[in-house]
Amino acid sequence: MRFTDQVLAVNNDLPIRTEQPVHNGKVRSVYWLTPSDSKRLIKEKNYDVASDAPLAIMVISDRISAFDCIWHAEDGLQGVPGKGAALNAISSHWFNLFKEKGLADSHILDIPHPLVWIVQKAKPIMIEAIARQYITGSMWRAYSKGERDFCGIKIKEDLQKNQKLDSLLITPSTKGILKGIPDVPASDDVNITRKNIEDNFAAFNFSKIEHIAYYEKLLNDGFNVISTALAEIKQIFVDTKFEFGYVTDKAGNEKIIYMDEVGTPDSSRIWDQDAFGKGNIVENSKEDFRQFLLNHFSDADVLLNKERMVERLALAKNNALPVSALLKISETYCLIAEKIIGKKIIISKNPKAEIIAILKEKYQLIDDV
pLDDT digits (tens, 9 = 90+) for 145-194: 999 999 999 999 999 999 999 999 999 999 989 998 998 988 888 999 99
Whether the predicted pLDDT of 196 surpasses 90: yes
Task: Give DSSP secondary structure letters for 296-316.
Answer: HSS-THHHH-GGGHHHHHHHH
Phi, psi dihedrals of residue 267, rounded to the nearest 5°: -105, 5
The pTM of this model reads 0.94
d(CA 40, CA 45): 8
The CATH number of residue 117's host domain is 3.30.200.20
CB of 218 closer than 8 Å to CB of 244? yes
Residue 82, domain member (yes or no):
yes
d(CA 367, CA 265): 35
Residue 369 pLDDT > 60: no
Q: 310 CB contacts (<8 Å, ≥6 apart)?
A: none
Check residue 158 and give left, alpha or beta (phi > 0: left; psi -120 to 50: alpha).
left
Rounded to the nearest 5 percent, the helix, strand and coil shares of the chain are 35, 25, 40
Long-range contacts of 269-272 (CB under 8 A, 24+ apart): 269/134, 269/136, 269/137, 269/238, 269/239, 269/240, 270/230, 270/235, 270/236, 270/237, 270/238, 270/336, 271/235, 271/236, 271/238, 272/234, 272/235, 272/236
- Residue-wise pLDDT for 206-257, tens only, equals 999 999 999 999 999 999 999 999 999 999 999 999 999 999 999 999 999 9
What is the identity of the amino acid at 295?
A: N
In a domain, 16, yes or no: yes
Task: Classify residue 354: in a domain, yes or no.
Answer: yes
pLDDT for residue 306 is more than 90:
no
- Angstrom distance (rounded) from CA 103 to CA 97: 9
Q: Model confidence at 1, in pLDDT bands (50, 70, 90)?
A: very low
Task: Please tell me whether residue 93 adopts helix, strand or coil conformation.
Answer: helix
Beta carbons within 10 angstroms of residue 104's beta carbon: 19
Structural domain containing residue 48: 3-122+346-361
Q: Under a CB-based contact definition with an 8 Å cutoff, are residues 283 and 269 in contact?
A: yes
Residue 75 lies in a domain: yes
Residue 319 has pLDDT above 50, yes or no: yes
Percent of the chain with pLDDT over 70: 99
Instruction: Count structural domains, the chain.
Output: 1
Query: What region, left, alpha or beta, does residue 319 occupy, with left being phi > 0 and alpha being psi -120 to 50 degrees?
Result: beta
**How many C-beta atoms lie closer than 10 Å to residue 202's C-beta?**
9
Question: Can you tell me whether residue 275 is helix, strand or coil?
Answer: helix
| Residue 253 belongs to a domain | no
If you average pLDDT over every residue of the chain, what do you get? 94
Q: Which of 141, 57, 82, 77 is nearest to 265 (CA)?
A: 82
Please, how many CA atoms are within 13 Å of residue 337, restricted to the half-sphere of its CB? 28
Is 325 inside any structural domain?
no
- As a whole number of angstroms, the distance between CA 300 and CA 293 comes to 8
Nearest residue to 138 (alpha-carbon basis) of 235, 239, 216: 239
Q: What is the pLDDT of residue 116?
A: 98
The H-assigned helical ranges of 83-233 are: 83-100, 137-144, 194-199, 211-232
Q: What is the largest CA-CA distance in the chain?
A: 65
- The whole-angstrom separation of Cα 238 and Cα 257 is 23
- What does the alpha-carbon distance between residue 184 and residue 203 come to, in Å, rounded to a whole number? 11
Is 72 within the bounds of a domain?
yes
Query: What is the strand order of the sheet 55-60 is part of?
Result: 23-24, 28-32, 55-60, 116-120, 108-113
Q: Mean pLDDT over residues 13-26, rounded?
A: 94
Residue 20 lies in a domain: yes
